[in-house]
Amino acid sequence: MIRAVIIDDEKNNIDNLTGLLKKYSLNVDVIGIATNADDGVQKILETNPDLLFLDIQMPDKNGFDVLRALPHHQFELIFVTAYDQYGIQAVKFAAIDYLLKPINPEELKISIAKVEEKLSRKKANLQLENLLELIKNKDSKKEHKLALATTKEIRFVNTSEIIRCESSNAYTTFYLSDGKNIMVSKPIFEYEELLTEYGFIRCHQSHLVNKKFIKSLIREDGGYLLLEDDTQIPISRNKKENVLKALTTLNK
């Protein structure tokens, strides 16, 4: 799903665009809107969108002012504007995609398809960069990013961000320190070898835990690990010895 922000000084234009995205089931989730340039800049900084729909002509500050006010431009951009000779000429010279108001649904579909293709290439480039970084530092103990591929995205997470992994048949859910969960369609054993050297403990057939988030080992009720967020993770009988051994090196 493409995460998008819409900036337009007329609320009815925002509603119209949002309605078209829903009506034609386009792969876009509108995560923020703004009706002026300053609020738009703040919304972009807060949400870090994949795509920005930006009006050129707005009171006080225009769409180009929005772009100039941002420290970086990591999103795809589609200008949505009424006809403006200078603005459209500048956009055409820069080969930036644009839609004229009123928006033609077929042109909107084409623009979204272009964005999907560009984002797909970006993800491939990030995967390659991650691979090259791993190969370059294969003997280093420095933290590495793990690429987690879901049906909607590829999320790159630092190993220190992962609290624990929990399996369910052929799926594994990653629980992150920011409170988010990511489910991938791979079994947990594929990650055990990858994460063990970063301080993860396989304490159960269905659980892999980052020991930096372990608060204590509880011996009653068959034994379990109590995590910093008070989650209780069971310990298999055949894993107890390995868990105890791993915990003795908790601070090493």
Domain ranges in the chain? 2-122, 145-247
The pLDDT of residue 141: 61
- Residue 11's contacts (CB-CB under 8 Å, 6 or more residues apart) are 35
Q: For residue 104, what is the DSSP state?
A: P
d(CA 211, CA 163): 8
d(CA 172, CA 160): 17
Q: How far is CA 29 from CA 50, 77, 152, 183, 252, in A?
A: 10, 15, 12, 19, 45
Q: How far is CA 221 from CA 32, 126, 236, in A?
A: 47, 45, 12
The pLDDT of residue 53: 97
Q: How far is CA 81 from CA 33, 56, 70, 91, in A?
A: 16, 6, 20, 11
Q: What is the 3-state secondary structure (H, E, C) of 161-190?
A: HEEEEEEECCEEEEEECCCCEEEECCCCHH
CATH: 3.60.20.10, 3.40.50.720, 3.40.50.2300, 3.20.20.140. Which one for 2-122? Answer: 3.40.50.2300
Give percent helix, percent strand, percent coil of the chain, each to the nearest 5: 40, 30, 30
Q: Tell me if residue 11 falls in helix, strand or coil.
A: helix
- What token pair was written down for 179? 């409170």
Q: Does the domain spanning 145-247 belong to CATH 2.40.50.1020?
A: yes
d(CA 109, CA 105): 6
Respond yes or no on whether the N-terminal peptide bond of residue 59 is cis (omega within 30° of 0): no
The pLDDT of residue 134: 83
d(CA 169, CA 161): 24
d(CA 96, CA 214): 49
The pLDDT of residue 68: 95
User: For residue 73, which phi and psi values (nearest 5 degrees)?
Assistant: -130, 80
pLDDT in tens, 171-183: 999 999 999 999 9
The pLDDT of residue 131: 87
Do 2-122 and 145-247 show the same overall fold? no
> Length of the chain in residues, anyone?
252
* Residues of the chain falling short of pLDDT 50: 252
d(CA 32, CA 37): 13
Q: Tell me if residue 225 falls in helix, strand or coil.
A: strand
